[in-house]
Amino acid sequence: MEPAAHQVPGADSAGETGDAGERGGMRGIAALSLPARIFVSIAVAVVTVGVAFHVAMVFLQTAPDNTVSKRHAEVVDSYVYPEFERNWKLFAPNPLQQNVAVHARARIAAPGGSTKTTGWVDLSAMDGAAINGNPAPSHTQQNELRRAWEFYADNHDEKGKSYGLRGRLSEQYIKRIVMLRFGTELNGGSVERIQVRAVVTPVAPPEWGDEKTDSKTEYSVQPWWQVTSADLPGGAK
Amino acid sequence: MTEDVTGEGRYAASGADVPSSVSGTEPGASPGSGSRADPGSGSRRGPGTRFQGPRVRVERCVSRGLGKVTGYALGPYQTAIVRIGFGAAWLFFLLREWPHRHELYGPDGPWSFGLGKQLIDSNHAFTVLMWASSGSWFELVYLVAMAAAAAMLLGWHTRAATVLFMVGVLSLQNRSVFMGDGGDNVIHLMSLYLILTRCSQVWSLDARRAHRSRSRAETRTEAARTDASAGAHGRGGNAPPHAGGNSAPPHAGGNSAPASAGRSTASGVGDPVAGTGGVVLWAVLGAILVGGTIAGAMTTGWTLFFWALWVANAAWWCVNKAVAVRGGSGLRELRTVCDILANLAHNGVLLIIMVEVCLIYSTAGWYKIQGSRWQDGTAVYYPMNLDYFTPWPELSHLLAGNGLMVFLVTYGTVITQVAFPFTLFNRRVKNVLLAMMIMEHVGIAVLLGLPFFSMAMIAADAVFLPTVFLVWLGRRVTVLRTRVRGRLPGGDVRRQPVAPPSPRTAGSEDPAVPASAPVGWPGDRTG
């Protein structure tokens, strides 16, 4: 009933004799010369410490802020980021309870020299239409605009003022997504400026519950942005 | 301990051949259960065992544990299914996104090369896509990422494939980090871990190749039996003749653990064709690495990491070659030490993978307990009403419309996630919870439109699947494949005996099996 029955012994002595149980590996080590045994012991120690350290770091990154993780935040962050990060919590502590839609409109330079402004276009609704009835939605439909807006909102204050590098990057990212979907020509004129707004609609509480929340839709309108060649697909290498 | 020897040998054979005979005992159900005392060994122990003091028992326990982590790459089926699962998830994802690949990761996508460069300059994430802004470089990387995923899925030169898989995953994901979701994140983590595991011991082309070259060597050995001294060279002199397999092809990355470390009977090297392929592959990788190092394309840490991997594999190949050509006890010992190191790395990383999966669930559970919606039993209602996660609105609203159902799923999710790590101490409960979590992820795949996220999570869960189940699953697949092949007009019956490692033949990949190969082989012939 050894678990090892299905396992592959590496040490040759175990493999040959089929002594796959408690003695096989030990004989493998015991059969080694002294230097080899010392080397293996060191390796066991190194792997043990390494595994313990890695597990500790990963744990401290995922656990809530606590005494230890706050004290060693620098070590933890420098070890875990950027490759061992875990950035999602499976709808915890609460699932998202609002639909965030991104709308955009454009100011167009018509051929006659006049300018006109288009109506708001619900870009998220276009994503939704693509997802509807799709067993495997693309990341371009499900994540691109949704996560770009999260990125933007995280790096801008209420009035649309950006924080540092990430704020600037997120702004240009949004502009490029909008321009990819609008194209440079719209309604017979060329797009000169664009404006974006987020429309946040709380999910109505369940009918079977007795909860009554205010389901008022909120708009967060961003300033007009000048479109430059860097915002067009193919621009801004 | 000769009785132990035969006992183990017989068991190994019957376990590989007729797993149903051991159902319920689940050998190696979870790799972590390896340290558990088994009823079988208790009965084999002499009556004196009972009177041993606690110190002796602790010593026994430690030495047994040490023997296992150095002598074996534990959980061969579990690591294989994790490898296959993640290879498939990433490959299918890349195939699905083929039409959208430029928009997601291309230099002219909305997250342009320039934007990506500025962010990566600040967070130092690894991506080869920053090496050049040309479209053809991007296409090449995307194709290599797909090829690596396919190779890892099939277990073709797995050591190299896992490294390329990781390079592909990190390159694409880090290039456009805001395109990803939780599924990408878990693939990202596992791609790093899989590199250090011996995940192609079963269900892989590497295992099949090692198996074939071993049987070929056996034929040769049989022919050379007149050289009796070679056969008697085995330890204790009672080694079965067929245990004299040749050295495994080294480029199999040590994934096929050698049955017998370079005994002189092997009279040669592993599969010469496969050997050449592996050498060419690693030479190409080495050349790329030299170029990358000279160009200073990677950070110091990554450069050292890749060089360490390359040197380790080259050393393993050299040691195997030397053992096969020259033999000698010193070389054989060196090889055993290398093998022990590989096993240690495998087992350490396997533990990390298991801890990581536990952490994913338990931290998710702990955070959920703090959430008011999970407390009042309505949490599951909300995702069912998010426009981005309702590909089948009618279905979602059907579930969301039933308060009792929503409550049960909400509480069930939290209970399962919080409890899971602790159920590892009880196989039956663990398996029930595992099944529930896998079912929930299947549900998420359909209801929330997250098939690749779900595939990745199920692949991660699979590390805890019981061996008996995996062996059974593998056998079903083999039966199915044989049936399909038989129905095809070109179905070649002669190929069946050397079919890729099926669960039946998989047991034969286990070098413990040669000791009892006569029992293990019939499955191969029929399978």
Please spell the DSSP secondary structure of B262-312, one letter per residue. T-GGG-S-S-HHHHHHHHHHHHHHHHHHHHHHHHT-S-HHHHHHHHHHHHH
Q: How many CB atoms sit inside 10 A of residue B10's CB?
A: 15
Q: Which residues of B touch A54 (CB under 8 A)?
A: 352
Q: How far apart are CA B93 and CA B90, in angstroms?
A: 5
Residue to mutate among B2, B3, B4, B414, with most A CBs inside 10 A, is B4
CA distance B195 to A53: 19
Q: How far is CA B481 from the centre of its chain?
A: 22
Q: pLDDT (tens digit, 9 = 90+) per residue, B371-418? A: 999 999 999 999 999 999 999 999 999 999 999 999 999 999 999 999
Cβ contact A81–B66 (<8 Å): no
User: Which tokens go with A232?
Assistant: 């067009």
Identify the closest residue of chain A to B132 by CA–CA distance.
A237
Residue ranges per structural domain of chain B: 1-28+467-479+500-527, 77-194, 350-466
- Mean predicted lDDT score pLDDT of chain B: 79
Confidence band (pLDDT; 50, 70, 90) for A11? Answer: very low
Nearest to A84 among B74, B189, B450 (CB): B189
| pLDDT of A6 above 90 | no
Tokens read off for B332: 């054989």
Residues B21-39: tens digit of each pLDDT: 333 334 333 443 333 434 3
pLDDT band for A48, please (50, 70, 90 cuts).
Answer: very high
| Higher local confidence (pLDDT), B232 or B54 | B54
State how far residue A29 is from chain B, nearest Cα, in angstroms: 8
What value does the mean pLDDT take over residues B331-354?
96
Indicate yes or no: CB of A10 within 8 angstroms of CB of B449.
no
Residues 6+ apart with CB under 8 A from B393: A132
Nearest CA in chain B to A25: B67
Label residue B253 left, alpha or beta by phi (over 0 means left) and psi (-120 to 50 means alpha).
Answer: left
Q: Chain B: residue nearest A36 by CA?
A: B337
How far is the alpha carbon of A166 from chain B, nearest alpha carbon, in Å? 8
Stretch 57-86 of chain B: residues touching chain A, C-beta under 8 Å:
60, 63-64, 66-77
Chain B 283-342, residues with CB within 8 Å of chain A CB atoms: 332-337, 339-342
Residue B525 has pLDDT above 90, yes or no: no
Residues of chain B contacting residue A21, judged by C-beta atoms under 8 Å apart: 4, 8, 41, 64
- Cα of A112 to nearest chain B Cα, Å: 31
| CB contact (8 A) between residue B70 and residue A177 | no
* pLDDT over 70, % of chain B: 73
- Asked if the Cβ–Cβ distance from A5 to B342 is below 8 Å, we say no
pLDDT in tens, B251-270: 333 333 333 333 333 333 33
How confident is residue B213, by pLDDT bands cut at 50, 70 and 90?
A: confident
pLDDT mean over A183-210: 92
Q: Is the pLDDT score of B510 beyond 60?
A: no
Chain A CB within 8 Å of residue B391 CB = yes
Q: Which residues of A touch B364 (CB under 8 A)?
A: 89-92
Each residue of B440-493: pLDDT tens digit? 999 999 999 999 999 999 999 999 999 999 999 999 999 999 999 888 776 454
| Residues of chain A found within 8 Å of residue B391, distances taken between Cβ atoms | 131-135, 137
Instruction: Identify the DSSP state of B251.
Output: G
**B422 — pLDDT class (breaks 50, 70, 90):** very high
Distance CA B236, CA B239 (A): 7
| Tokens 């040759």 -> residue | A12
Provide ipTM, 2 decimals. 0.89
Mutate to test the interface with A, among B3, B8, B38, B189 (most CBs of A within 10 A): B8
The domains of chain A are located at 3-80, 98-231
Query: Min CA distance, A69 vs chain B (Å)?
Result: 15
Residue B277 pLDDT? 86
B77 closest CB neighbour out of A6, A15, A139? A6
Q: Which residue of A has its CA nearest to B467?
A: A6
How many C-beta atoms lie closer than 10 Å to residue B74's C-beta?
26
**Residues facing residue B224 across a β-bridge:** none
Determine whether the interchain pair A43/B344 forms a contact, defined as Cβ–Cβ distance below 8 Å: yes
Which residues numbered 424-463 in B keep a CB inside 8 Å of some CB on A? 446, 449-452
Give the mutation candidate from B43, B60, B72 for the A interface (greatest A CB count, under 10 A).
B72
- Quote the Cα angle for B451-B452-B455, to 5°: 85
Q: B132 and chain A: CB distance < 8 Å anywhere?
A: no
pLDDT of residue B377: 95
CA angle B371, A81, B97 (to 5 degrees): 80
Distance from CA of B195 to the nearest CA of A (A): 14
Crossing angle for the helix pair A22-30 and B329-369, nearest 10 degrees? 130
Mean pLDDT for the stretch of residues B51-63: 86
- In 3D, which of B1, B6, B4, B3 has the Cα closest to residue B519? B6
- Is the model's pLDDT at A107 over the cut of 50? yes
Is the predicted pLDDT of residue B495 greater than 80, yes or no? no
Chain A and chain B share a number of CB contacts under 8 A equal to: 417
- Cβ contact (<8 Å) for B368 and A91? yes
Task: Tell me which residue in B25, B71, B118 faces A11 most closely, judged by beta carbons.
Answer: B71
- Lowest mean pLDDT across A14-23, B139-148, B282-291, B348-357: A14-23
Tally of CB atoms within 10 A around A33: 12
pLDDT of residue A13: 34
User: CA of A118 to nearest chain B CA: how many angstroms apart?
Assistant: 22
Name every chain A residue with its beta carbon within 8 A of the beta carbon of B192: 83-84
Binary contact (A22, B64; C-beta < 8 A): yes
Enumerate the H helices of A183-230 as residue ranges.
none
Is B343's CB within 8 Å of A55's CB?
no
- Confidence grade of residue B99 (pLDDT, cut at 50, 70, 90): very high
Of A132, A143, A176, the CB nearest to B179: A143
The minimum CA-CA distance between A56 and chain B, rounded to whole Å, is 10
Q: In this structure, is the dihedral angle defined by the CA atoms of residues B216, B222, B226 and B231, taken in order, positive or negative?
A: positive
pLDDT at B57 over 50: yes
Comparing alpha-carbon positions, the chain A residue that sits nearest to B31 is A3
Chain A contact probe: residue of B36, B79, B363 with most A CBs at under 10 A: B363
Nearest CA in chain B to A207: B401
* pLDDT at residue B50, rounded to an integer: 58
